[in-house]
Chain A
């Protein structure tokens, strides 16, 4: 069945450092979504990528979808304390959607 692996599970950075989380699927995806969950909160949709090789930016966040549509990444430039939380990817394909295990980001001021 479809599996979506996400690494790393935890990332601790100093404020101002960059951060990247990676998602890898065992199967080709139709699309991939990214969500952010603040501590004590619920997942909130960030973006959806559909096309092979797609790159989208939201201010300091850059999202990429691999050419083979089997992997994706989220990169945050110059992290801020407001970036703390758990970032999830969710890959859709073959009639289902699977969430990665998430990457929890902590930012030291």
Chain B
């Protein structure tokens, strides 16, 4: 059983489109995260949810909107995609906030043409 899963694994789309990435964890964790990893491999936190509540919202454009229907799921919707959004997006989860080991999903490679 995969602990943290993401779909899709690859996403190729045109500029201006809207797309969603889904994440699910079966670890029973309370906290979930979205990270963006650019071509230089820098890993930047975007959002963090704890028990379905938004805890961290870094400086991310309003075009990015996370949604957590329950504590096992954290989805990311992106409106009006731009070239600069091309990156690998990782979902992660941890039992508590920040102080616990984070389990990462396999990543979604988004390419905006």
Contacts and interface: CB of A to CB of B under 8 A. Distances in A.
B64 interface: no
Given A30-B99, A92-B99, A99 B45 contact: yes
B105 A42 contact: yes
Contacts of B106: 41-42
A108 interface: no
Given A42-B104, A42-B106, A101 B42 contact: yes
Main SS of chain B's interface residues?
Answer: loop
Contacts, number: 46
Given A96-B56, A96-B98, A97-B98, A104 B41 contact: yes
Interface residues of B, number: 20
Contact of A42 (B40, B45, B107): B107
A54 B107 CA distance: 32
B13 interface: no
A43 B104 contact: yes
B90 A92 contact: no
B7 to A, nearest CB: 14
27 contacts: A31-B99, A33-B101, A33-B102, A41-B106, A42-B90, A42-B104, A42-B107, A43-B90, A43-B102, A44-B104, A45-B103, A48-B101, A86-B41, A88-B43, A92-B98, A92-B99, A95-B97, A96-B45, A96-B56, A97-B98, A99-B35, A99-B43, A99-B45, A101-B41, A102-B41, A102-B42, A104-B41
Closest A-B pairs by Cβ, 7 of them: A97-B98, A42-B104, A45-B101, A92-B98, A99-B43, A43-B104, A101-B42
